[in-house]
Structure 1
Amino acid sequence: MKNIYLDNAATSPILPEVVTTISDSMTHFYGNPSSIHQIGRKAKSLVETARKNIAKHFNASANEIVFTSGGSEADNLILRNAVTNLGVTTIISSKIEHHAVLHTIDDLEKEFKITVHWVDLDENGVLNYLHLEKLLQHDTSKKLVSLMYVNNEIGNFLDIKKVANLCAINNALFHSDAVQAIGHFNLDLKETPIDFFAASAHKFHGPKGVGFAYIKKGFGIYPILHGGEQERGARAGTENVHGILGMEKALELAHLYLKEDEKYIKKIKNYFIKELKQSFEGIIFNGCSESENESSYAILNVRFPKEYAMLLFSLDLKGIAVSGGSACQSGSNQGSHVLNAILPKNEQFKTSVRFSFSKLNTIEEIDYVIKNLKQIIK
């Protein structure tokens, strides 16, 4: 049986070069970066070099990068600090954010009685920028806007420069969950003045369990994990040296082949769209995921004309790995909160499947998926 992996938005396979980097670091650089002997100092030096190299990709400073266990921790660290440390009393977000943002906002609202506003979305999940501007001008409270760069389920782009400019004009802070964008798109922080963003290595062929928060210089950060002074006091705990070095290597490779990979993956996605349209009547692409200009080249969310309750299971039996929504909710029976927020009630019961691609996929794999989809649905 073949193994066809089309769930790269959930996690991506680790590249061989990254595995080698991690393996070598585990063998040779096993010291604790907080130790004062030379073995510890070597590990510390490698971590700080990785921090500098990662920062360079975004035209940022090394001291603006805080290593975390991944995107969820980075989101939590940023949002909690905005309220407890930076004086934010109003958060503006959307109903289709990742739960790392939504659940954190819910907790902050309960704990600190902050005001939360939700920006209007259209039927494709596109943000209403006029409504965002109105919310920013609603009152004089200290505000933070938290909107994701690329939606993890439907792939929609945020006009990130527009939002950054709106926030700057209205003296609001701007945080973006950029987990699905980092390693796939260029982000120059001199051109797009975001205050905070979150990233996770396993979304761009790096290891799981490591990521980082970008926190613009000048914002003091209080830790949400206590116990040590690592990460300049922003996060307690011994640094994940091997994960950090693997992430550094994965990001280096991602940026080295950025345009080449984008062109190749777009070819895969466009071919899949064409074959789906030719093979199945009545399919719809959720959000803007069919569009080259309005969504990520790596994500396609397909809604079939009726419910196929066993579709994901049947594909799995054929060795095809896909997602019905966000993999972070794989145990949920409530369906996708993203699709529930934008689809009319009579469309929510229909089966939707998220296919997400990487440079490791091939046209031959797409043909295999189409063939098996025809057999299953027939």
Structure 2
Amino acid sequence: MERQDREQMRVYAKISRAALRHNMEAMRDSLPEGIRIAGVVKADAYGHGAALVADTIAPYVSFFCVATAEEALGLRKHGIEKPVLVLGPVFDADYEDLVRAEIRPSIFTEEQAEALSKAAEKLGRKAAFHLAVDTGMHRIGLKPDAEGVRLAGRIAAFSNLDFEGMFTHFYRADEWSQETTELQEQRFRDFRKALRERGLSPRICHIANSAGILNLRGTEYDMMRAGISIYGIYPATEMAHPLALEPVLSLHSTVTYVKELPAGGAVSYGGTFVAERPMRVATVSIGYGDGYPRALSNKGEVLIHGKRCRILGRVCMDQLMADVSAVPEARTGSPVTLLGRDGEACITLEELAERSGRFHYEILCCLNQRVPRIDS
């Protein structure tokens, strides 16, 4: 879409390729030489658009990681050729498509390994996989104990499988205390040693997520998985921020109508806002049907002509109303910023999360397909 057409768009999100490149370079430069980066683009790249993001960060990564078979195959359809790892479990029916597309599944049961091996045998290929290890999160993965070592041996013994990688996942690395993370590291380290003693040596071991990268945890392994940090968002506000990341996504809409509201006038469903004085109110063409949080009713703000304007009443499915009494230049067609910067004013993702009571990752992921992602 041409830039001149954007003023006529109901709602859109700008995706900054420059910010993506900046964040990848900041992480790359902070890591010890030789450690590879895997770019996590699950959930449509955390709401940013998987194809656009993958294309931009491809020069910086050795792998892409997704959560589902559908996401992995979608990357292949968009022409992404680098290795792709599915971090979550997949159904047996998906293995043949994954093998054909040279996509690596996560394996942690003998039943999964058998199904993957059969699919590979049918296609006359060997299928690479990464072994998922549960070091404490208790979500997926085999236990890093003696039985886990034996199970890993049985999985690796399937003749049509290639034991390419092994990983686990930090679940408290974004906290000030690193005690739990250190314990996970030790369990993973001991398990890798036990596997090596049995002659099992995956070529790629990875443990660190975005929080691990920012804390430089897990740097003794071959690869680190960059997720939310790619998008310029810190995993948690309580973390130290050694890298200056830049937010990649900003959210925009348009004023569609400005009206005069008399004292005593109610706004939106339920009349939860009633004007105490005459006001100017702008209708903005975005709502919870686009993924904007309804919880920001009566307490969120938007930016119009560089000024903060309070949301009045309940956020509707497709529209919301804002107080523009102090913005005389506001009119039909005025641009609205809901996330990001307008002049000196800025609304951050952390602010939206705090005011709405929602998780900051969640807000990004909930922006749906009614919101076009625009390359900027």
User: How does the TM-score come out when normalised to structure 1?
Assistant: 0.30
**Structure of larger gyration radius:** 2
Higher relative contact order, structure no. (Cα contacts within 8 Å, ≥ 6 residues apart)? 1
Higher helix share: 1
For normalisation by structure 2, the TM-score amounts to 0.30
- Between Structure 1 and Structure 2, the one with more strand by share is 2
